[in-house]
Structure 1
């Protein structure tokens, strides 16, 4: 669960240190006070996208740090071990810094990570249901994603999509082979000639540097031999050879040093110089002995360089790029050879289709079972949300030939009463009904979620009265098993919370900032009364608030 949230210079928050409790917590306050800002900050710590505008005016950066309890075992710990991120303390610190220019950095337990890693860890820790989540449920893709996520079918769906991609590619290749056989044959002949030509050249990238180096050495061999002789003569064989002169000087200094120890350093330096000159002399002699005037080898190298240069010019690449041209030509030729045999492609296509069906059919079976289960559960939840007689159904529509999503599409159907036929939710649900249906779906799917923290950001928009009280009870029930945070403007929902914070704006030094206040029982009565009665709070309103909180008597 979420233990602590630290926020610095984020929107209208200067500094906040928030310690969270277990169970169901309500975040309340007047409109614009910054209730959702706290969840926006948490969303960034969990790996959400950031913009430069989130940094508080006049500040260089915003910083958010979220501390979560780390489950003792499970996939998150295994993933952290794979990423070589320390998790020995039983907590996970998720830190995000957003600079005023828009750049951001992220850390997990002090280890720098990329945003994708932060997001992956966050998916195991918290699930945020935004206030626009209900409208997203109108999209077929979102409906299908919800069904697969609820049933743990995401990995199966991904495999189905991949096998469909392979099958589709082979189908397109077979169709192209059937339609363009003549043009394919001409291109295949050209590529075959190119591949043969490049293979005959037998050129490797490292050869180019070696050829140029050897050519330079052979082309200047006479000058190199002459220069070597001159250096060797100057070092050891000439009248004023450096080696012999230095040896004489070193002997003289050694004799002097025997009478004056201050010359020991000079003697050591000359000794080192003598050793280095001797090594240079031997290296130069070995180099001279290897030098040879070989005009035949030079002509051979020149001819090889000319052949490589001509081929590179022909294909409009640098010589080092010729192997890549060969690899691309071989790959293209292989594809064209396959395309020149539509029957072989048809066999591959059939095999790919069978492979697709082998994973798509079990996925369809799992979806059918899950759709029936989820339809019944959401229908039952809708009855408690003042939608008596309403019905919800997840319809699976067969897709001819299949698609990347599988053998069916998903459509959410609903009816407000039993006497009316089921129709697509996007067509029949009013704003208030959509909120209740969406909330029912979220509550049901959250029960099976593995994430320990569930966050609801004003998902109760469009409801009120008895329905709001029921929603509060549902969230409190969820809070029995995990941590639930809810931004709400409804007193009926807030009154069901195990604990409550009030978020308000205040002016400090001429700047508008957000302030968070944990509420004790008397303060909760005042806050619920404010939510019930607005500006003028009476004793009757307070009494009603206390009754809602169960704090009377």
Structure 2
């Protein structure tokens, strides 16, 4: 919904601030007064092409800003967040600045953006239907969306979308498997070499420490033999050895205990000491008996340690880390071996989802085609009331590539003349006709949808070439449409203006020797006078005022 529009130095507008409301907002004024300037300015906020011709003569730039109350929509929030734009209570400020040299700048929430982004945002801001606008009604995707709204097809679309997204997930998974396979195939030879190199050594945790100790022993046999023999002699083998003296001490203590039992504790202490000395002596004797130089074994140990050190330099500073690296390589190779099984499983799931998609898409197509027939009849009926009797309206279907919205390409075809083959709307209809066709379609859709969105709909030249009953019919449909939308309409017809909830008059005045367009919101007698002027022209008659009062009264009851 458009809350406020501010225009500065744009065409004949010097400075203008307008507040708009829910319901039917009508702009009237004499021909050439500048009514379409409002529509043109909105077109720029929606990402339209800027031109130096828009800049008021004698000024260096034109500025347009609009405050929009956006609907609750995860899609628009995601789009804005991607561009670093934050909403404040669902309100969004859109701005365009056009320089006198034709260059322009765009802003959203005071952040610089591109006009292309404004075009992306515009579907959530509103739709403009007029001769000078690139109509969303011309867009095939928008046409399909209109048909889906009329058909209440959202449940069927949701079912298709869920399956489609799962199907696309399979594609992404298969792509990832292919990418990994290519990477793994490139590395497979390396992994095989690494695995074989590590497995060939048959490493045992802690082995390197044991080998280092054995190496030290084998390198120092002579010194070890010398020190071990000296220790054995001093402890066990010499006449005055520690063991011999300990035994002598034990005998003396035993004699003492026979006389004085208080020394029993000393005797008890000496017993395990003697046992320890004997055990140490035997151990040294056994050690000496096995201690001998073994150059071949030393070479074997040094060779294995060198091989282990080589692996440490490549795969980790310890045997534990080397074995961990081996486990990782083995896991990667298992992944390579299991990739074909995983691929087969995903392809099977993808094939199943494709069958499910075909079924769900077919149901959605059936819903659309059934609704299309009804929409064709209702739009033609509406167009007959809008002075376009004999117009043929058709909804054409063709099959497109799979999307989460189904596989249907939908195009609205129109023939405004009997006997003419219906063709695409953009090729056969004038601006005024397009506005009335849009009005007819929107009216049909709105009748099928409970509640309203307060989405902005702008109609320019919707009353071109009509009058009388046809104009009244247009007014009634705009009024009906405004119950679910915010409608902004430029009109020359009193019959249409009488249905307004909010009525604005656009007029040109002279100020300081220059023409300036102004906009005034009309109420009460002023509104009656304006509609009377539209009925009678410049000379306002009592009859015209009476007729205007009758029209306003009738419009307020609609």
Q: Give the TM-score, by structure 2 length.
A: 0.54
Report if aligned partners of 1:27, 1:488 keep a CA contact under 8 Å in 2. Answer: yes
Report matched runs for 1:470-481 at 5 Å. Answer: 470-481=473-484
Q: Which residue does the alignment assign to 1:115?
A: 115
CA shift, 1:456, in A, is: 0.6
* Closer/same/farther in 2, CA of residues 430 and 80 from structure 1, 3 Å limit: closer
Structure 1 residue 147 displacement after superposition = 3.7
CA, structure 1 residues 25+148, in 2 after alignment: closer, same or farther (shift >3 Å)?
Answer: closer
Mapped partners of 2:76, 2:462: distance in 1: 28
What is residue 455 of structure 2 aligned with on the other side? 452
Confirm or deny that 1:507 pairs with 2:505: no
Instruction: Indicate if the aligned counterparts of 2:435 and 2:460 stay in contact, CA closer than 8 A.
Output: no
Change (3 A) 1:446 1:422: farther
Q: CA deviation at 1:482?
A: 2.3
User: Is the CA contact (8 Å cut-off) linking 1:126 and 1:451 kept in structure 2?
Assistant: no
> What aligned pairs does 1:318-357 form with structure 2 within 5 A after superposition?
none
2:49 maps to which residue?
49
CA RMSD of aligned residues (A): 4.3
Between the aligned partners of 1:67 and 1:436, the Cα distance in structure 2 is 27
In the aligned structure 1, how far is the partner of 2:143 from the partner of 2:50?
25
Residue 150 of structure 1 and its aligned partner are, at CA, apart by: 3.8
| Structure 2 gap segments, 5+ residues each | 165-353
Alignment partner, residue 19 of structure 1: 19
Equivalent position of 1:33 in the other structure: 33
Aligned equivalent of 1:86: 86
Map of 1:238 onto structure 2: none
CA offset digits 1:462-509 (Å, max 9, x no partner): 111011111101111111222111000000000111110100111111
Contact 2:394/2:422 (8 A) holds in 1: no
What residue in structure 2 maps to residue 521 of structure 1? 524
User: For 2:92, what is the secondary structure of its paired residue?
Assistant: strand
Q: Which deviates more, 100-109 or 402-411?
A: 402-411
Indicate if the aligned counterparts of 1:147 and 1:371 stay in contact, CA closer than 8 A: no
- Work out the CA distance in 2 between the residues paired with 1:2 and 1:415: 33
Does structure 2 retain, via aligned residues, the 8 Å contact 1:127–1:451? no
Closer, same or farther in 2 for the Cα pair 1:471/1:4, shift >3 Å? same
2:128 counterpart residue number = 128
Q: Which residue of 2 aligns with 1:531?
A: 534
Per the TM alignment, residue 542 of structure 1 is displaced from its structure 2 partner at its CA by: 0.7
Taking the aligned partners of 1:17 and 1:28, their CA distance within structure 2 comes to: 17
Greater Cα shift, 147-156 or 501-510: 147-156
Alignment of 1:172-183 (within 5 A): none
CA distance in 1, matches of 2:397, 2:445: 22
Is contact 1:393–1:412 with CA below 8 Å preserved after alignment?
Answer: yes
Whether contact under 8 Å (1:361, 1:407) holds in the other structure is no
Q: Match of 1:374? A: 375
Q: Which has the larger radius of gyration?
A: 2
- The answer to whether the 8 Å contact 1:133/1:438 transfers is no
Looking at structure 2, the residues matched to 551 and 115 of structure 1 have their Cα atoms a distance apart, in angstroms, of 43
- Residue 466 of structure 2: aligned partner: 463
Aligned residue in 1 for 2:70: 70
Residue 146, structure 1, aligned to residue 147, structure 2: no
Is 1:424 equivalent to 2:414 in the alignment?
A: no
Rate the CA distance shift 1:143–1:111 in 2: closer, same or farther, 3 A.
closer
Distance 1:12 1:26 in 2: 20
SS at match of 1:151: helix
Q: Secondary structure at the match of 2:116?
A: helix
Offset of residue 104 of structure 1: 1.3
Do the aligned partners of residues 355 and 512 (structure 1) sit closer, same or farther apart at CA in structure 2, a change above 3 Å counting?
A: farther
Question: Displacement of 1:101 after TM fit?
Answer: 1.2
Quick one: distance in 2 between partners of 1:433 and 1:58?
Answer: 37
Query: 1:69–1:92: 8 Å Cα contact kept in structure 2?
Result: yes
Q: Summarize the Cα distance change of 1:406–1:95 in structure 2 as closer, same or farther, 3 Å threshold.
A: same
Distance in structure 1 (CA, Å) of the matches to 2:59 and 2:525? 37
CA distance in 1 between counterparts of 2:96 and 2:435 reads 32
Offset of residue 117 of structure 1: 1.9
| Cα distance change, pair 149–116 in 1 and its aligned pair in 2 (3 A) | farther
Would the aligned equivalents of 2:4 and 2:67 in 1 still touch at CA under 8 Å?
A: yes
Match of 2:546 in 1: 543
Superposition TM-score, scaled by structure 1 size: 0.55
Output the CA distance in 1 between the equivalents of 2:128 and 2:7: 18
Q: 1: distance between equivalents of 2:475 and 2:518?
A: 25
Distance in 2, Cα, partners of 1:496 & 1:511: 34
Contact 2:509 2:518 in 1 (8 A): yes
Match runs of 1:214-363 below 5 Å: none
Equivalent in the alignment of 1:332? none
For 2:42 and 2:136, the matched residues in 1 are separated by: 21
Whether the 8 Å contact between 1:7 and 1:15 is mirrored in structure 2 is: yes
The 8 Å contact of residues 411 and 424 in structure 1, kept in 2 or not, is answered as no
Per-residue displacement from partner, 1:291-344 (whole Å, max 9, x unpaired)?
Answer: xxxxxxxxxxxxxxxxxxxxxxxxxxxxxxxxxxxxxxxxxxxxxxxxxxxxxx
- 1-side partners of 2:435 and 2:97: how far apart? 34
Distance 1:457 1:366, change over 3 A: same
List runs of 5+ in structure 1 lacking aligned partners.
161-352
